[in-house]
Amino acid sequence: GSLERRRCLYLHTGRAWCQMVEVLLAALILVCSSVSCGSAGGYTGLPALGGIYYYQYGGAYSGFSGADGERAQQLDQRFYLLKLPIARAAMAVGGCLLVFPCVLILVGVLRVPWHFPAWLLIECTLYIVIAVGTVPALYYFLHSLLGVYNSSVCKEREQLYQSKGYQGFWCSLHGAEIAAGLLGCMAAMAYLLSAGLAVRDYRTVHEQKQKPLQL
């Protein structure tokens, strides 16, 4: 009835659209973070994954023999373990950022801000805190990854694969990690926009509640 229509109207508001964009950005951050840690076991683990690299390089240990193959496996495992905590932390943050706007969309559909306008101020505060906290989080993410890529493990691994003619094992940020950083910046701007919209909606709700009821 009319109640359901009023609830659906929230999904057409600017704040709801902004929150849906935040859901999309958080999902992309989560995907990019998982890609950063996706090559479990590195080169030697690719046959188990059945990925495109396995077919491109012609199978595990192709071009390696004896001690070189064992060393490649050890370096892959050590490199993977170095990146694992960073990727897990990024995935955890992406998951939290995915849940947060979903909860706020549900709160808006249930018309909680109309019955409790102060919620919009709480929402605004949370958005500002998250937007400000995103900056050091991005710095930690990129700084930690650069530390891994500048490590002796990564350098030795890169040289070993290059000596066998393989490309793609460079010690530098790859596309998914750069994309995660850019998406994080976009998410921070979306949070600030949502904070401004929450303040605007608070004023609107407050003004409407001050008007006398018209029959």
Using one digit for the tens of pLDDT, what is the confidence trace for 15-47? Answer: 899 999 999 999 999 998 888 765 433 444 333
Distance from C-alpha of 90 to C-alpha of 173, rounded to nearest angstrom? 15
Q: Are 158 and 171 in contact (CB under 8 A)?
A: yes
Confirm if 44 and 76 have CB atoms less than 8 A apart.
yes
d(CA 110, CA 161) in angstroms, rounded, equals: 56
Q: Where are the domains of the chain?
A: 2-41+83-211
Distances in Å between the alpha carbon of 27 and those of 34, 55, 80, 98, 117? 11, 29, 23, 6, 29
Residue-level pLDDT at 64: 64
- 3-state secondary structure (DSSP) of residue 91: helix
pLDDT for res 4: 55
Q: How high is the pLDDT of residue 152? A: 92
Position 18 scores a pLDDT of 93
- Give the distance from CA 152 to its chain's centroid: 28
Let me know: does 61 contact 44? Beta carbons within 8 Å: yes
Model-level pTM?
0.80
| pLDDT tens string 123-165 | 999 999 999 999 999 999 999 999 999 999 999 988 888 887 7
Q: Which residue type sits at 49?
A: L
- Structure tokens, 64: 């390696």
Q: What is the pLDDT of residues 49-102, one digit of tens each?
A: 333 343 334 344 455 666 777 788 888 888 888 988 998 999 999 999 999 999
Please report which confidence band the pLDDT of residue 213 belongs to, taking 50, 70 and 90 as the band edges.
low
Q: How many CB atoms lie within 10 A of CB 52?
A: 9
C-alpha span between 30 and 111 (Å, rounded): 29
- Binning pLDDT at 50, 70 and 90, where does residue 109 land? confident
